[in-house]
DNA sequence: GCTAGTGTGTTACCGGCGGTAACTTCTGTC
DNA sequence: GACAGAAGTTACCGCCGGTAACACACTAGC
């Protein structure tokens, strides 16, 4: 089942390449079969046998964490950039939401894996995803505190808002992905309206 | 391991009672060991053998769905009541958030099972939890549309807000549960501020 | 050129899971 | 008291995550 079984032997590539090669195979399987994909299936897809996966990633959680990490850092950087872009507050808000929704729209299977199904089974994976949301929330909290000019003793309030807003965008994305009642731009606008209104009133 | 093994035989109770009895046992195990609890463990806790569980609930997903349903309807009714209570908008908002946070604070394990870990493994359970959030969001959407006096062609906008707000409260709860940076009343107030501000600006 | 060592790969297994088939025991009914 | 049928058990199946033990390539030193 390997896509290039002739290159299966890692000595032709070096360990670094092998790892990427295995992650590519794992990602294909996970995006195709969902997060309940078995290690057997992943090994078969890569054209190798199971113990190799375990040598590289320790256990299933390790593989899934590696899989998530490949995308989390990229996504986080993207969102941080949108949140700190020199522009109006409204534009920054819309840019961040839009970046998020582009991922959701462009690769729903990856989105679900990163945000939901990472939560499956092994707690390590869930922790990794939770940590991603947390880092995102904390980054946003700093922006909110600055935006509202909150003194340091009111930072927890900004954090409450920030983590809430992250969850809001995610939940709205989920609903929108199922329903598709309007285009991406409309959802961006609606959510930005909500957040902007809260800002304006604070 | 049965708490009343002498009553294990269901003929002494009738099938309805048996079902409740089994659900009680299952809930004890799930809240103690997390959602990865095995059917063997649940059967042992109830003092019966595995096939009985399967006769009553079909499969693991069926049991978990039954477990979730016992609480979902109650919680949903509670929240609906808070959302339609005759009071000011602000009071209704706070009442609903407060009801939610009381559950989170009072029984975190149950909360996690209902909202997160229900998402584990079997898709049926995940669907049930998603449906709960959906129903809650839809109920809130009706309230929002009425509150803002939105015409029918703008209902999707109210839905986007509603589902977003549900996710917001949930995500803020998660963060708060981990961090406990302030009391429940403060979180209620912060979130109500956010929502109220958005309302006021809409 | 032979040997030793190291990394890369395999097969074959383990315990435990979800789920089921086949059998036994109890209970109520005529 | 014989019997239908529900209630409950034991013993199994296939599959999973994970591992031990062994086989094959490549390189280094003599």
Residues A201, B202: C-beta atoms closer than 8 Å: no
Nearest nt (C1') from A12 Cα: C8
Given the structure tokens 């709960």, which residue do they identify?
B132
Interface check B200 vs A, CB under 8 A:
yes
- Chain B 133-162, residues with CB within 8 Å of chain A CB atoms: 133-134, 137, 156-157, 159-161
User: How sure is the predictor about B130, in pLDDT bands with cuts at 50, 70 and 90?
Assistant: confident
Average pLDDT over residues B48-59: 94
By Cβ distance, the residue of A167, A172, A195 closest to B170 is A167
Tell me the CA–C1' distance in angstroms for B41 and C23: 24
Which tens digit of pLDDT belongs to each residue from A157-187?
Answer: 999 999 999 999 999 999 999 999 999 999 9
B3-18 per-position pLDDT tens digit = 444 445 665 566 677 8
Please check the confidence at residue B134 and state whether its pLDDT lies above 50.
Answer: yes
* pLDDT the model gives residue A130: 86
**Burial class (CB within 10 angstroms; exposed 0-12, middle 13-18, buried 19+) of B178:** exposed
Residue A133: CB partners within 8 Å, gap ≥ 6? Answer: A163, A166, A167, A170, B171
Average per-residue pLDDT in chain A? 89
Per-residue confidence (pLDDT) for residue A202, from 0 to 100? 80
- pLDDT above 90 for B142: yes
**For the segment B66-91, what is each residue's pLDDT rounded down to a tens digit?**
999 999 999 999 999 999 999 999 99
Is residue B79 within 8 A of residue B138, CB to CB? The reply is no
Q: Determine whether the interchain pair B171/A157 forms a contact, defined as Cβ–Cβ distance below 8 Å.
A: no
**Does the pLDDT of residue B189 top 60, yes or no?**
yes
Q: How does the average pLDDT of chain B come out, rounded?
A: 89
**Chain B, nearest residue to A131 by Cα:** B175
Choose between B3 and B34: higher pLDDT: B34
Q: b/e map of A92-131 (b: 16 or more CB within 10 Å)?
A: bbbbbbbbbbebbbeeeebbbbbbbbbbbbbeebbebbbe
* Tokens (6 digits) for A130: 């939770």
Find the largest Cα–Cα distance for chain B.
Answer: 63
Q: Quote the tokens at residue B145.
A: 């549309």
> SS3 for A86?
coil
Residue A188 or residue A201, greater confidence: A188
In the structure, what pLDDT confidence band is assigned to residue A17 with cuts at 50, 70 and 90?
confident
Nearest residue (CA) to C1' of D6: B11
Pick the closest to residue B136 from B66, B79, B67, B64 (CA basis).
B79
- Per-residue pLDDT, B128: 84
- Give A122 or B72, the one with higher predicted confidence: B72
The pTM of this model reads 0.89
Report whether pLDDT(A91) > 90: yes
When pLDDT is averaged across residues B122-145 and rounded to a whole number, the result is 88
| Mean pLDDT within A28-53 | 93
Those residues whose C-beta lies under 8 Å from the C-beta of residue B101, and which sit 6 or more positions away, are B173, B176, B184, B187, B188
Q: pLDDT > 70: what percent of chain B? A: 90
**Alpha-carbon B120 to chain mean position:** 15
pLDDT, residue A8, reads: 53
Q: How far apart are CA B168 and CA B47, in angstroms?
A: 41
Mean per-residue pLDDT for B171-181? 95
pLDDT in tens, A130-144: 889 999 999 999 999
């Amino acid at each position: 089942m390997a896509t290039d079984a002739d290159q299966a032997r890692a000595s032709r590539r070096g360990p670094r390449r092998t790892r990427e090669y295995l992650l590519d195979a794992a990602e294909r399987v996970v995006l195709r079969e969902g997060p309940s994909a078995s290690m057997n299936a992943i090994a078969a897809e890569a054209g190798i046998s199971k113990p190799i996966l375990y040598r590289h990633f320790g256990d299933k959680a390790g593989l899934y964490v590696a899989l998530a990490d490949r995308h989390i850092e990229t996504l986080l950087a993207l969102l941080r950039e949108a949140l700190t872009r020199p522009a109006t507050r409204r534009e920054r808000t819309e840019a961040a939401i839009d970046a998020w929704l582009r991922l959701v729209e462009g690769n729903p299977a990856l989105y679900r894996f990163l945000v939901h199904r990472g939560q499956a089974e092994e707690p390590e994976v869930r922790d990794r995803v939770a940590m991603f949301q947390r880092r995102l929330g904390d980054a946003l909290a700093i922006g909110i505190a600055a935006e509202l000019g909150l003194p340091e003793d009111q930072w927890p309030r900004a954090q409450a808002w920030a983590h809430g807003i992250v969850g809001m965008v995610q939940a709205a994305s989920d609903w929108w992905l199922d329903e598709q009642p309007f285009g991406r731009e409309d959802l961006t606008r609606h959510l930005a309206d909500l957040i902007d209104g809260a800002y304006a009133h604070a």
